[in-house]
Amino acid sequence: MKKAELEDRKAQAAKYKIDDLEFSPESKALFEQLRTQLLALGDDVIELFGANTVTYRVYDFFVEVIPRKRRVSLVLNLDFDECDDPTERAADATEYAFIIHATESGGVLFTVDDSAQIPAAMHIVRQAYDKVSE
């Protein structure tokens, strides 16, 4: 069932490519740095472009990257209570009525404003990746 759902998502994503997304120069630079590290998490990582976001999945999604004006927002498939975030930058995504452009619903929202925050973001992304890879 999950395999069929993933194939459906791949077919939908085939309509889009990275050039379809609206990035500012700042958010594009942050995304490119994150993208390299996200794809390096494992051979099972699948990158799916959408109209306004990029979702990274194994079978389930583990992170959705949403370009913003001068930053990127990450929606993570992780319960906020289980999130180990020493920086305390992560927010409980369930406290938001909705997150603009998000297509997935996750429990953690993390905003990356500059490249110095990427290691902290990847610390949380690894937790979400490990959760869906089990």
Nearest-Å Rg of the Cα atoms of the chain is 14
pLDDT digits (tens, 9 = 90+) for 83-132: 999 999 999 999 988 898 998 889 999 999 999 999 999 999 999 999 99
| Whole-number Å distance between alpha carbons of 100 and 53 | 10
Query: Whose structure tokens read 């700042």?
Result: 26
pLDDT above 80 for 10: no
pTM for the full predicted model: 0.90
User: For residue 57, what are its two tokens?
Assistant: 């999945």
pLDDT digits (tens, 9 = 90+) for 47-97: 999 889 999 999 889 999 999 999 999 999 999 999 999 999 999 999 988
> In this predicted model, which residue has the larger pLDDT, 102 or 5?
102
Provide the percentage of residues in the chain whose pLDDT is more than 90. Answer: 68
| Whole-number Å distance between alpha carbons of 22 and 72 | 11
pLDDT at 6: 67
Mean pLDDT calculated for residue range 14-21: 78
